[in-house]
Amino acid sequence: MECQPTEALSCLGAAAYEVLFCSNQARPQHLQFSAPCKVRIRLTDHSASLSHIRLLKASCIGKLVTLKGTVVRMSGIKPLVQQLDFVCGKCGSSMVCHFPDGKYSPPNSCTTDGCKSRQFQPMRSTAVCVDWQKIRLQESDTTDEGRVPRTIEIDLTRDLVGSCRAGDIVTVLGMVKVINAATEPGAQKSGNCLFLLYLKAISVSSRKMKAEADNVQDADRAAEPPAAIPSALAELSQRDLHFIVRFTEEMEGNMFGHLVHALCPSIWGQEMVKAGLLLALVGGLAPAPDPSDSAPVRGDLHILLCGDPGLGKSHLLQAVAGIAPRGVYVCGGASSSAGLTMSVVKDSVTGEFVFEAGALVLADQGVLCIDEFDKMASEHKAMLGAMEQQEVQVAKAGMCATLPARTTVLAAANPAGGSWQPAKSVMENLKLAPGLLSRFDLVFVMVDSPDAQHDAALSKELLAKHAGRSGGSDSARRAALSQRAGTQTASTQAREGQQRVPLAESLLVYGPEDAEPLPPQLLKKFIAYARAYVHPLLSEEAKQVLRGCWLEMRAKAPGSGTGGVTLRQLESLVRLAEARARCDLRTTVTADDARDAAELMQSCLWDDCLSGCDASNFQRGGSRGGKKAEAVRFLAALRRQAEAKGNALFRVAELFAAADSLELAVPDLHTFIEELNEAGELLKKGGSTYQVSGFM
C-alpha cells in the first residue's frame, strides 16, 4: 500500500464494486443501489504512512504518506479537465485524450492509416471536468525549532473540495507527486530538470469540521455519559482518560490550586496571574446561538499582563502557548496587521488572488499569545472586531471574506516610560485605546515593589535552581509561601474545607503534592479534556453572587457615566465562573466558583481602577491611591485663595506652596498638575501661570 498506492487502491475499488454491485447477497435498505456507479476508495487513519513534511525527499515520489498540519492558504474552486476529444484537421477522425494529474498533453499525430496530420481541434463540449482546489499545508510540530516551518502544496479533487478551511488543523493522506518547475509562472528555461513535490490528496480529515458537525456545544448531550470518545478527544488515549479520573480523585478539594502551581513553575509567585491564565486556557462557554439574533457572544477570555519589565510576562506567555491544545505565539513588534488577521496574495500557479490566514485565524479555537503588545500601532484596530465578534473580515483586491477567529487573546505589554507609573492609569502607561482595553476580561498590573522577605526567598530559590539542588528550591518556596499565607489556621482550613478561604490565600497553600508539579504534557491533556467535554451550567446561587458583584462594581464607579463598567464586565464574570467550574470538572457552576471569579476580577484592575478607560478625566474617577480626592481638595483650596485675592491666576510656585500646605498624597506634583490641565480643571496660561476653571 505504501509503495504502490495506485495499484492497491484500484484493487480495493474493484473488490468493493464486486461486493456492492455483483453479489446477490441480501443487503439493508441503505446499502442498496439502483444502478452501478464508480467506487472511489478514501483511506483514513493509516498510521503506517505517517510522516512529516520535512522528511519528504525524492525517494518518497509515488508513495503514500500521511501529513498533519495547519491549512494556511486556499485557492478557489475551479474545473479540472480530465478527458477531452480532439478532431483531426485533415481526416476528421476523433481521438480521446486523458490528462492524468491535470497535465495537458494533446495528441502528437493522427493515428489513422495514411494520415500523419499534426493539426487537431479540441471539442470543448466533450470535456469531462471535476472540481479542483489547491491548499497549502504548514507543519505544526515544534520538534525542529529554529527553522522556518515547512509547507507543501496539496491538490484536492471531487468530493474533497471544500473539506477544510484556512486555519484548520487537518490530517491529509495522499500520494507524493512531482511537477516540473519550468511550468511554474516566471520559471527560467534552465529549470527543466528541476521538479517540485506536491501531494495528491486521497482523504482529508479536519477536527474542526467534525466538531461543528457533531455540535459538541450542546449542553444536553454534554450532561449525558458518553458512549464513545468524542471526535475532539481523538488524541486522548485510554491511559490519558484513566489519568484524568485518578487525578480528579486524588486532588479532590485542591485540584485548582495544584493546576495553578503546575502552570509555569519556573516563575515563582504570581499565583493570581497564573490562576487567570489557567482560566483563560480552559475558557468559558459560548451561549447557544439565538435564531432571532445573529450577533455572536464569545466564550473565550482575553487577558492583558502589564507592568514593569523583568517580571516574567513573556515567559508566562511562552509557557501558556506550549500548554494550550492549540497555541500560537507572536511578537507584536514584528507582526503586521495582515499577519495578525488575513492577507491576500497572488497564487504562483493559477495567477489568482487567494487568502492566507494570519495568526488570529490560525489560532481559531485556541490561544494567541502576543508579546510586546505595546509596540503595535495600527494593528490594534485590526483586532477590535476579532476579539469581540470572533470573526476576521477582509475586503481586498475585489475579494470579501469572513473567517472565524474564536481565539483567546493573551497579551503582555510594558509601560511607555520603561517603568510603571502608579500616578497614571493603564491607558496612559501603555498608550492603549479605550475600546481595545475594554475588550480584555482581566488586566493584571505586575509592579516590581521591593520586599526584603520576598526578595530573599526569591533569590534563594533562584540560586538553588542554578546550583542543581531542587530540594533546596522546594523548601525555600514552601517556607516563603507559608509566610505569605498569613497564618497556619488559614492553610489548615483551606485543606480541610471547614470554611471558604479567599482565593488568594488558598493558592498560597503549598502541599507535599506540589513539590512535583504536573508535567506540561499531562496538564495539556487535562485542559483539552475540560474544554471538549465539560459544559457546566449556572446555578441560581451563582447567578445571585455574580449579579451582586456586578451591581457593587457599578455602584462604586463614580460619576454618571459609571466609569466604564458595562455589561462586558458581567459577561466576563460569567465566563470566569464557568472556567472555574471547568477546572474542577463540574457540571454546575456553584456559588464558590462565582465568588472566586469575583475575587479574581477584584484583584486586578477593574475594582481598584474602575475608570481606567478614562482615567485622565477627574470627573469620572482617577487611578488608584485616592487621586480624585486629592484633586478635589487641591482645587477647593485654590478656589478659596482665588476668592480671597480676587484673581484666579496662580504661578507654579504658588501651586507648589498650596500643595505643601495641604500635604497632598501624590507621588509627582508636576504630573499631577499636568493631569489637572488635561482634565480642564487648571487652564495653562502664558508665563508659567495657571487659571482655575469655574471661577467667576
Residue-by-residue DSSP string for 371-389: ESGGG-STHHHHHHHHHHH
Q: pLDDT class for 207, splitting at 50, 70, 90?
A: low
Query: CATH says 47-208 is which class?
Result: mainly beta
Residue 614 scores a pLDDT above 60: no
Q: pLDDT class for 553, splitting at 50, 70, 90?
A: confident
- What is the tens place of the pLDDT at every residue in 221-257? 433 333 333 334 446 778 888 888 888 888 777 788 8
Q: Could you tell me the pTM of the whole model? A: 0.69
More confident residue, 185 or 612: 185
Q: pLDDT class for 510, splitting at 50, 70, 90?
A: low
Residue 30: the pLDDT is: 64
Lowest mean pLDDT among 2-11, 12-21, 343-352: 343-352
Residue 577: the pLDDT is: 92
Residue 487: the pLDDT is: 39
Cα 21 to Cα 35: distance, rounded to the nearest angstrom? 8
Residue 336: the pLDDT is: 76
Classify the C-alpha dihedral 268-269-273-277 as positive or negative.
positive
Judged by phi (left if over 0) then psi (alpha if -120 to 50, else beta), residue 101 lies in left
Q: What angle do CA 14, 19, 22 make, to 5 degrees?
A: 90
Read off the amino acid at residue 100.
P
Q: How many other CB atoms are found less than 10 A from the CB of residue 615?
A: 27
Residue 574: the pLDDT is: 92
Residue 289 scores a pLDDT above 70: no
**For range 321-348, the mean pLDDT:** 79
**Considering the chain, what percentage of its residues have pLDDT values greater than 70?**
77
More confident residue, 597 or 357: 597
Residue 132 scores a pLDDT above 50: yes
Residue 125 scores a pLDDT above 80: yes
Cα 653 to Cα 102: distance, rounded to the nearest angstrom? 84
Highest mean pLDDT out of 130-134, 310-314, 501-505, 551-555: 130-134
Residue 214 scores a pLDDT above 80: no
**For range 583-602, the mean pLDDT:** 89
Q: pLDDT class for 495, splitting at 50, 70, 90?
A: very low
Return phi, psi of residue 331, to 5°: -110, 130
As to burial, measured by CB atoms within 10 angstroms (0-12 exposed, 13-18 middle, 19+ buried), residue 170 is: buried
User: In terms of residues, how long is the chain?
Assistant: 696
The domain 236-506 is placed in CATH, from the list 3.40.630.10, 3.30.110.70, 3.40.50.1980, 3.40.50.300, at 3.40.50.300
Q: Mention every residue, 6+ apart, whose C-beta is less than 8 A from residue 511.
A: 254, 258, 495
Residue 659 scores a pLDDT above 80: yes
Closest among 669, 631, 415 to 621, alpha carbons compared: 631
Residue 621 scores a pLDDT above 60: no
Q: How many other CB atoms are found less than 10 A from the CB of residue 639?
A: 15
Highest mean pLDDT out of 67-71, 352-356, 601-605: 67-71
Highest mean pLDDT out of 26-35, 157-166, 627-636: 157-166
Cell numbers found for residue 22: 455483483
Residue 462: the pLDDT is: 72
Q: Mention every residue, 6+ apart, whose C-beta is less than 8 A from residue 48.
A: 1, 2
- What is the tens place of the pLDDT at every residue in 442-479? 988 888 777 777 777 777 777 776 766 544 555 555 55
Residue 519: the pLDDT is: 86
Residue 433: the pLDDT is: 79
Residue 151: the pLDDT is: 86
Residue 295: the pLDDT is: 63
Closest among 547, 692, 103, 690 to 349, alpha carbons compared: 103
Lowest mean pLDDT among 248-262, 337-351, 577-591: 337-351
- Residue-averaged pLDDT of the chain: 77
Cα 622 to Cα 608: distance, rounded to the nearest angstrom? 10
Cα 210 to Cα 44: distance, rounded to the nearest angstrom? 14
Residue 625: the pLDDT is: 41
Residue 694: the pLDDT is: 67
Residue 564: the pLDDT is: 61
- Look at strands 442-446 and 303-307 and give their pairing: parallel
Q: Mention every residue, 6+ apart, whose C-beta is less than 8 A from residue 56.
A: 65, 152, 176, 197
Q: pLDDT class for 562, splitting at 50, 70, 90?
A: very low
3-state secondary structure 205-222: EEHHHHHHHHCCCCHHHH
H/E element holding 569? Answer: helix 567-583
